[in-house]
């Protein structure tokens, strides 16, 4: 496949912004007016052009049911507008007021153990409670009527991180709504009984109202019931978003509506479905500070967000300037890390870099969270670094709308993850997340940009598709993957993939049921390893967690097991089908092991990987119609050198021949393309 530049538009992702969006959550209600003056002055100084306000302001805007006070927000809007700063207006529905909870205790979420959650926090409600729906409609309508056509309004930011910190609710309203959802999905109880396999353990239902949410029971609850409850939960929360969005579209035409995702870190929302409903995909990402490879996980999250946006530019709605406050140990960012993190998101398609939050709070749960203006004020390293980033993003204005091109995709399906994460699997050491991280890290170290794709999505633009951990596969997904291979693609599948169908049922077909013909093998028996046990392979590698006893039907064995329960049997196989090839790795290998075992699979995909490159020099390309931006992020503490020609996109200086990238530094080189 040759690299062709996708068509681009040189307009900002947010209408009315002609530069990369830069700013963050702004909570002026926590501060006296004189601080607002300072805020606006500092924002203007460093090029802030978009701030999110009002996200948690419900009780200030509606202090009593139906009584509104917009005076303070009018003032905020006017000040921001006068300074030329755009507003992303939050709908405050993640934090209903105390008066609401007093009147409607039935709207509180209930845990799987039956505990109703109390007030005093945020992000909690039963998505199916009628009183919550009515209260949301009232406040959102009032906000849209007041600000829907305000000249400073650029974007609607609905709610905050749907699904966090609570997603499933076992309250009465949710149980009622679950039954309605099931009736719509299955039509008849007979179909439901069949799909859930209720013949097992005598669980057959004779009436719809016998069905409950899968609350805590004596032992494992029917896995198909739990999987459907997970699907229902994502849908119920999505319905909350759609209800608000539709009001906003009606009363505030032309202003895009988004809600902030947590791409790879929210286990409860099926974002493939959600992404279809938002006008702009936006995402929140926080480093897992203790992990030395946190920047790789950041890249993975950004690639996932771009994939949710179907390749279009997206907004980084939140990240941190330095430490967060909610991890076990909150690691401060090192000098330069704020810029590297931000540019990694930008390089992977973000046309907006926003932070939580503008000014560090002095009270409340998040007072130890970093901000653009930390407690130390503007005379601080963090503010200085944020200001520098603001300048650099301003210099990148011409790159607005450029796109990222990936030749490889990792299959990702929340439904499969929900199903696999249920109890009573063959090994508690199974982890789809760890498997995906292993494969992603292998490719990241090679400098290969990767998309994520739903298993039923069109895969034709990829040369390489990976299914590191795809436990649940629909028939459509299986057919899709097979046609990809037949048409000349290269597939790499990891163990415990293609095991169940959409009802967490084992189909009457050889395992892996969706992949047996494609991989040219069948699994006779799972042979998971003991804790800490390894299985050696004939190619010198060692696997952990898992092995299979398998029979190769048409596949060729690439490596066998020399120890462990599958000793003598195939460990890694390659099959050809149509014009393509399909690889199977039946054990867990770390990224280096994958690099060594799967180099020939990259050759199958005609992907040339430069094994001599410095793996910690992140390299991503953004493409316009006639221009490429090569982004280099040096994650080492050494100066690195590379050969490149073009113009430094930030300084405007010509670059030719050997170019230096300082320890921990970044370079963006712009060059024309055909």
Active site amino acids: 161, 318
Report the C-alpha gap between 112 and 115 in whole angstroms.
7
Q: Supply the Cα-derived Rg of the chain in whole angstroms.
A: 26
Q: Does 318 bind ligand GLA (CB under 6 A)?
A: yes
DSSP collapsed to 3 states, 61-99:
HCCECCECCCHHHHHHHHHHHHCCCEEEEEECCCCCCHH
In the complex, the smallest distance separating the C-beta of residue 468 from ligand GLA, rounded to whole angstroms, is: 27
Tell the smallest beta-carbon distance from residue 318 to ligand GLA (Å): 5
Taking the complex as a whole, how short is the minimal distance between the CB of residue 376 and ligand GLA, in angstroms? 19
Return the residue of 212, 366, 533, 590 that touches ligand GLA, per CB under 6 A: 366
Site string for ligand GLA, 226-265 (x = CB under 6 A): ----------------------------------------
Instruction: Say how far apart CA 104 and CA 336 lie, in whole Å.
Output: 48
Residue 359 or 369: the one with the smaller Cβ distance to ligand GLA is: 369
Residues 348, 597, 583: CA angle, nearest 5 degrees: 80
Euclidean distance between CA atoms 10 and 337, whole angstroms: 28
Under rule CB under 6 A, residue 26 binds ligand GLA: no
Q: What is the 3-state secondary structure (H, E, C) of 221-267?
A: CCHHHHHHHHHHHHHHHHHHHHHHHHHHHHHCCCCCEECEECCCCCC
* Residue 286 contacts ligand GLA per CB under 6 A: yes
Taking the CA atoms of residue 161, residue 163, residue 166 and residue 172 in that order, the dihedral angle to the nearest 10 degrees is 130
- Closest CB to ligand GLA among 318 and 504? 318
Q: Cβ 288 to ligand GLA, closest distance in Å?
A: 12
Question: Which of 39, 228, 235, 284 lies at the binding interface for ligand GLA (CB under 6 A)?
Answer: 284
Does 369 engage in binding with ligand GLA (CB under 6 A)?
A: yes
Nearer CB in complex with ligand GLA: 365/487 = 365
Using CA atoms, how far apart are residues 317 and 159, in angstroms rounded to an integer?
Answer: 13
Least distance in angstroms from the C-beta of 238 to ligand GLA: 18
The DSSP result for 388-421, as a single string, is HHHHHHHHTGGGTT-EE--SEEEE--HHHHHHHT
Number of residues near ligand GLA (by CB under 6 A):
9
Contact 103, 65 (CB under 8 A): yes
The least CB distance from residue 374 to ligand GLA, in Å, is 14
Work out whether 533 is an interface residue with ligand GLA (CB under 6 A). no
Q: In terms of CB distance, is 374 or 494 closer to ligand GLA?
A: 374
Between 286 and 346, name the residue whose CB sits nearer to ligand GLA. Answer: 286
Of 371 and 518, which has the nearer Cβ to ligand GLA?
371
DSSP 3-state of 36 = helix
DSSP string, 475-509: HHHHHHHHHHHHTT-EEEEESS-S-B-TTS---SS
Tell me if 161 contacts ligand GLA by CB under 6 A. yes
Closest distance between ligand GLA and the C-beta of residue 289, in Å? 11
Are 562 and 538 in contact by the 8 Å Cβ rule? The answer is yes
For the chain, how many helices (H) and strands (E)?
17, 28
* Cα within 13 Å of Cα(495), Cβ side: 30
Residue 324 is a binding residue for ligand GLA (CB under 6 A): yes
Our finding on whether 29 is near ligand GLA (CB under 6 A) is: no
Secondary structure class of 131 (helix, strand, coil): helix
Out of 27, 49, 95, 160, point to the residue binding ligand GLA (CB under 6 A). Answer: 160
CB closer to ligand GLA, 252 vs 322 = 322
Residue 212 Cβ, how far from ligand GLA at the closest point, in Å?
Answer: 32
Which phi and psi (to 5°) does residue 462 adopt? -100, 150
Shortest Å, Cβ 157 to ligand GLA: 10
State how beta strands 646-648 and 666-672 pair: antiparallel
In angstroms, the CA 267 to CA 265 distance is 6
Contacts for 410 with CB less than 8 Å, ≥ 6 apart: 436, 439, 440, 450, 451, 452, 453, 465, 466, 467, 468
Q: Judged by CB under 6 A, does residue 88 bind ligand GLA? A: no
Q: What residues from 623 to 652 belong to the interface with ligand GLA (CB under 6 A)?
A: none
Specify whether the CB–CB gap between 596 and 442 falls below 8 A: no
Pick 232 or 286: Cβ nearer ligand GLA: 286
Site string for ligand GLA, 107-146 (x = CB under 6 A): ----------------------------------------
At closest approach, how far in Å is the CB of 302 from ligand GLA? 15
Single out the residue of 68, 38, 67 nearest to residue 54, CA to CA.
68
By C-beta, is 177 or 238 nearer to ligand GLA?
238
Q: Which of 92, 83, 129 is nearest to 110 (CA)?
A: 129
Q: Which is nearer to ligand GLA, 95 or 621 (CB)?
A: 95
Asked if residue 356 binds ligand GLA (CB under 6 A), the reply is yes
Closest CB to ligand GLA among 123 and 311? 123
Q: Measured from the CB of residue 345, what is the shortest distance to ligand GLA in angstroms? A: 14
- Binding of ligand GLA at residue 314 (CB under 6 A)? no
Asked if 154 interacts with ligand GLA (CB under 6 A), we say: no
- Name which of residues 415 to 434 contact ligand GLA (CB under 6 A): none
Alpha-carbon distance 367 to 445, whole Å?
36
- 301 touching ligand GLA, by CB under 6 A: no
- Residues at the site binding ligand GLA, with contacts judged by CB under 6 A: 160-161, 284, 286, 318, 324, 356, 366, 369
């Amino acid at each position: 496949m040759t690299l062709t530049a996708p068509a681009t538009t040189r307009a900002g992702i947010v209408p009315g912004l002609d530069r990369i969006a830069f700013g963050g959550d702004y909570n002026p209600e926590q501060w006296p007016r004189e601080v607002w003056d300072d805020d606006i002055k500092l924002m203007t100084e460093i090029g802030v052009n978009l701030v999110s306000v009002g996200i948690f302001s419900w009780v200030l805007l509606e202090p009593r049911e139906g009584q509104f006070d917009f005076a303070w927000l009018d003032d905020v809007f006017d000040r921001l507008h006068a300074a030329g700063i755009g507003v992303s207006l939050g709908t405050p529905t993640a934090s209903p007021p105390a008066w609401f909870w007093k009147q409607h205790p039935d709207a509180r979420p209930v845990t799987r153990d039956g505990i109703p959650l109390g007030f005093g926090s945020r992000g909690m409600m039963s998505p199916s409670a009628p009183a919550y729906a009515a209260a949301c409609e009232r406040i959102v309508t009032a906000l849209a009527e007041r600000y829907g056509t305000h000249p400073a309004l650029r974007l609607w930011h609905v709610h905050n991180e749907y699904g966090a910190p609570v997603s499933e609710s076992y309250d009465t309203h949710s149980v009622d709504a679950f039954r309605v959802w099931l009736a719509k999905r299955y039509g008849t109880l007979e179909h439901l009984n069949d799909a859930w396999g209720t013949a097992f353990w005598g669980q057959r239902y004779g009436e719809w109202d016998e069905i409950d949410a899968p609350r805590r029971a004596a032992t494992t609850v029917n896995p198909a019931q739990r999987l459907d409850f997970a699907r229902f939960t994502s849908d119920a929360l999505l319905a909350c978003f759609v209800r608000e969005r539709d009001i906003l579209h009606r009363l505030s035409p032309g202003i895009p509506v988004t809600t902030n995702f947590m791409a790879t870190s929210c286990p409860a929302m099926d974002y493939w479905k959600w992404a279809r409903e938002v006008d702009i995909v936006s995402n929140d990402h926080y480093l897992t500070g203790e992990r030395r490879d946190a920047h790789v996980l950041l890249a993975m999250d950004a690639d996932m967000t771009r994939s949710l946006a179907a390749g279009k530019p997206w907004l980084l709605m939140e990240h941190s300037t330095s430490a967060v406050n909610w991890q076990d140990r909150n690691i401060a960012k090192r000098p330069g890390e704020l810029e590297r993190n931000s540019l990694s998101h930008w390089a992977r398609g973000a046309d907006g870099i926003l932070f939580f939050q503008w000014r560090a709070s002095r009270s409340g749960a998040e007072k130890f969270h970093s901000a653009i203006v930390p407690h130390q004020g503007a005379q601080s390293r963090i503010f200085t670094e944020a200001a520098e980033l603001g300048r650099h993003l301003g210099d990148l204005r011409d790159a607005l709308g450029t796109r990222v091109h990936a030749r490889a995709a990792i299959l990702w399906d929340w439904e499969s993850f929900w199903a696999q994460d249920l109890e009573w699997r063959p090994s508690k050491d199974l982890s789809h997340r760890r498997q995906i991280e292993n494969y992603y890290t292998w490719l990241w170290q090679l400098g290969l940009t990767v998309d994520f794709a739903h298993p039923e999505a069109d895969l034709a633009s990829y040369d390489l598709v990976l299914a590191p951990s795809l436990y649940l596969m629909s028939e459509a997904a299986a057919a899709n993957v097979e046609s990809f291979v037949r048409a000349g693609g290269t597939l790499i599948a990891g163990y415990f993939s293609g095991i169940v169908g959409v009802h967490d049922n084992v189909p009457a077909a050889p395992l892996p049921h969706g992949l047996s013909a494609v991989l040219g093998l069948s699994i006779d028996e799972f042979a998971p390893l003991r804790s800490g046990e390894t299985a050696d392979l004939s190619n010198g590698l060692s696997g952990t967690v898992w092995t299979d006893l398998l029979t190769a039907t048409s596949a060729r064995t690439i490596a066998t097991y020399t120890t462990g329960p599958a000793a003598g049997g195939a460990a890694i196989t390659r099959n050809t089908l149509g014009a393509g090839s399909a690889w199977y790795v039946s054990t867990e290998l770390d990224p280096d092991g994958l690099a060594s075992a799967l180099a020939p699979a990259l050759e199958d995909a005609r992907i040339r990987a430069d094994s001599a490159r410095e793996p910690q020099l992140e390299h991503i390309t953004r493409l316009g119609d006639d221009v490429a931006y090569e982004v280099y992020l040096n994650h080492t503490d050494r100066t690195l050198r590379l050969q490149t020609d073009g113009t430094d996109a930030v300084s405007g200086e010509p670059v030719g021949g050997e170019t230096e990238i300082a320890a921990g530094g970044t370079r963006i080189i712009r060059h024309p393309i055909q």
